[in-house]
């Protein structure tokens, strides 16, 4: 008697992508969920500097793909390709991946390339809240976050958004304020700030939070540009009710006013 056995083709495993926010710098600010994803990843994709911050959390057998600044789309495309091959991919993003991070490029690239892949976003501590914690409680009421980088957003649009936030009396958080070659946007924004806010308005400047060389400065709007400001700096500009108490900045929410 002849027995005929049919071979069944195994379905290839579907890959996944998890975009992980690693916070502002130190490993102590990486969430438990982010650590779990990093430790279980088969492939890790990210910016060189961010990879170096969490390398100790990545298992030795994982394949690491790192690249320099300005290659976000390339990293997103690579992550999608690795996932298409069945790999469990983690894309490392500084701060929170949904705030000027890698969540957008991954989702947008997947749509553009027509790739259907399971994408999960793991939030992280963003520079606004990390810097606020270093300064006290400047974000206790409504605030707006604006990046001053004009590489992807026209400068006029950035200024329009800043003006709108100032008209609404929002506390203002400025990301990517200036670099060695890009100083004009911050100068123009400072002119707007001086137009809408009193010169004595409290300003906090936090540089390299959680990266070992952290520097926190409490100053005024008038003297803001007298201080060292770079790409690792985050600037928080108070609103009409923001005050300085000792070495802390506070924007009262109104608890004592309404009690």
Residue 198: give its domain's CATH number.
Answer: 3.30.950.10
Q: What share of the chain is helix, strand, coil (3-state, %, to 5)?
A: 30, 25, 45
Of 132, 146, 126, the closest CA to residue 202 belongs to 132
Q: What would the mean pLDDT of 17-44 be, rounded to a whole number?
A: 95
Whether residue 174 is contained in a domain is answered as: yes
What domain range is 53 assigned to? 16-122
Q: Write out the DSSP string of 32-47.
A: HHHHHHHHH-SEEEEE
d(CA 178, CA 207): 12
Q: Which pTM does this prediction carry?
A: 0.89
Alpha helix stretches (DSSP H) within the chain: 32-40, 48-54, 72-84, 103-113, 127-135, 155-167, 184-196
Q: What is the pLDDT of residue 8?
A: 46
The predicted-structure confidence for 210-239, as pLDDT tens digits, reads as follows 777 889 999 999 999 999 999 899 999 999
Instruction: Find, among 243, 145, 127, the residue nearest to 251 by Cα.
Output: 243
Instruction: Check whether residue 64 and residue 168 sit in a common domain.
Output: no
Q: Residue 11 falls within a domain, yes or no? A: no
Q: Whose CA is closest to 239, among 215, 207, 206, 204?
A: 204
Tell me whether residue 220 is in a domain: yes
Comparing 11 with 222, which gets the higher pLDDT? 222
Quick check: 5 pLDDT over 60? no
Asked if the structure places residue 257 within a domain, the reply is no
Looking at 122, 145, 178, the residue that finishes a domain is 122
Among residues 5, 33, 6, which one has the least CA distance to residue 19?
33
190 located within any domain:
yes
> Element (H or E) spanning 220, and its range?
strand 215-220
* CATH label of the domain that carries residue 83: 3.40.1010.10
If you average pLDDT over residues 140-146, what whole number do you get?
97
Q: Is residue 10 part of a domain?
A: no
Q: Please indicate whether residue 138 or residue 70 has the higher confidence score (pLDDT).
A: 138
Same domain membership, residue 215 and residue 139: yes
Say if residue 31 is in the same domain as residue 116: yes
Is 258 within a domain?
A: no
């Amino acid at each position: 008697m002849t027995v005929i056995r049919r071979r069944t083709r195994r379905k290839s495993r579907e890959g996944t992508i998890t975009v992980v926010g690693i916070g502002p710098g130190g490993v102590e600010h990486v969430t438990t969920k982010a650590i779990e994803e990093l430790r279980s990843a088969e492939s890790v994709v990210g910016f060189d500097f961010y990879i170096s911050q969490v390398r100790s959390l990545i298992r030795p057998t994982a394949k690491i793909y790192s690249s320099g600044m300005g290659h976000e789309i390339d990293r997103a495309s690579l992550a999608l390709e690795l996932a298409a091959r069945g790999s469990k991919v983690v894309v490392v993003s500084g701060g929170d991946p949904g705030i000027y991070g890698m969540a957008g490029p991954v989702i947008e690239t997947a749509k553009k390339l027509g790739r259907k892949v399971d994408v999960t976003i793991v939030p992280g501590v963003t520079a606004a809240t990390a810097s606020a914690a270093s300064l006290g409680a400047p974000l206790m009421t409504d605030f707006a976050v604006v990046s001053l980088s004009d590489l992807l957003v026209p400068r006029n649009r950035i200024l329009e958004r800043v003006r709108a936030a100032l008209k609404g009396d929002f506390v203002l958080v400025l990301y990517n304020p200036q670099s060695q070659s890009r100083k004009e946007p911050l100068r123009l924004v400072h002119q707007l700030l001086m137009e809408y806010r009193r010169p004595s308005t409290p300003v906090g400047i936090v540089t390299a939070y959680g990266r070992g060389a952290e520097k926190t400065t409490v100053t005024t709007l008038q003297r803001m540009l007298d201080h060292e400001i770079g790409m690792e700096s985050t600037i928080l500009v108070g609103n009409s009710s923001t005050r300085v108490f000792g070495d802390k900045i506070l924007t009262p929410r109104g608890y004592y006013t309404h009690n």
